[in-house]
Homo-oligomer: A and B are copies of this chain.
Amino acid sequence: MVLYKEIAQDIRSKIINGTYPVGDPIPEQIKLAKDYNTSRVTIQKAIDILKSEGLIFSRPGSGTFVKKSANVFSSLDNDIDVYEGVTASFGSMGLITSEILNFSVRFPTDDEIENLLITKSTPVYDILRLRFLNNEPLILEYTIMPVYVIPNITEETLYGSIYSHIQQNLSLKIGLANRKIHADKPNTLDQKYLNCQLTDPILEVEQVVYLDTGTPFEYSKTRRRYDKGSILMIQKSK
């Protein structure tokens, strides 16, 4: 672990355990530098982390203070790991299983060409899975991935987590995700697999996920019943 992250962690725990009370200033940067036996620039890097987490804020000429909402966001440590996919997000809530409704390879549609930045002759996986939480149908997941970016997907992979295949078997790093969230009326597949009535709304998340190199690797749509969870997000200030 690097020094500035260790210092950030130490200050973070002092905020959470009340050593630095909400609304109060934390020690000035020069004092922190002496206390941690380091330079001021390193302290500033630690402070930058805590600012980006929404725990503290600085007023130039005045000091650096613990935010009143610090406790609310202390849960921000574990962020919202949508990256890790359904398996990790809901795994703690029970048993996740999958039924594979479709697994094929084909050429992409215009929509997919645009979103995945590929050509019309680039083969893609076309995957449709129904995911269960404790044997209750939870979400319908449509996934399109370019074959050359994420090779060697098998039915075996699909019963588990595609994301751990990417990170562990292929050693790729996941970068940004670009999401669009809509409400929609249930279509026939929703009604069949998610047990929807015509009056039960669907919450759909459409996303393009990128590797850290900027290569798009997944264009997916996940659909769930309106009463099976919502999407959380934290928008940071500029």
Interface residue ranges, A against B (CB under 8 Å): 22, 41, 54, 57, 65-70, 72-73, 79-80, 82-83, 117, 173-185, 198-203, 210, 212-216, 226, 230-238
* CB-defined A-B contacts under 8 Å, sample of 13: A68-B117, A69-B215, A70-B214, A73-B176, A73-B178, A80-B235, A82-B235, A175-B237, A176-B236, A178-B233, A179-B232, A185-B226, A201-B202
What CA separation (Å) do A199 and B216 show in the bound complex? 35
A54, closest chain B residue (CB): B176
Besides A65-B213, A177-B235, A178-B232, 5 other CB < 8 A contacts? A68-B215, A69-B214, A83-B235, A183-B202, A184-B201
List chain B residues, Cβ under 8 A from A233.
Answer: 178-179, 181, 233
What CA separation (Å) do A11 and B50 show in the bound complex? 27
Number of copies: 2
List chain B residues, Cβ under 8 A from A238.
Answer: 79
Q: A interface, by DSSP: helix, strand, loop or mixed?
A: mixed
What CA separation (Å) do A167 and B237 show in the bound complex? 14
List chain B residues, Cβ under 8 A from A185.
Answer: 199-201, 226
List chain B residues, Cβ under 8 A from A173.
Answer: 237
List chain B residues, Cβ under 8 A from A235.
Answer: 80, 82-83, 176-179
Give min CB distance, A58 to chain B, whole Å. Answer: 10
List chain B residues, Cβ under 8 A from A212.
Answer: 57, 237
Known A70-B214, A182-B230, A212-B237: A199·B199 in contact at CB below 8 Å? yes
List chain B residues, Cβ under 8 A from A199.
Answer: 185, 198-199
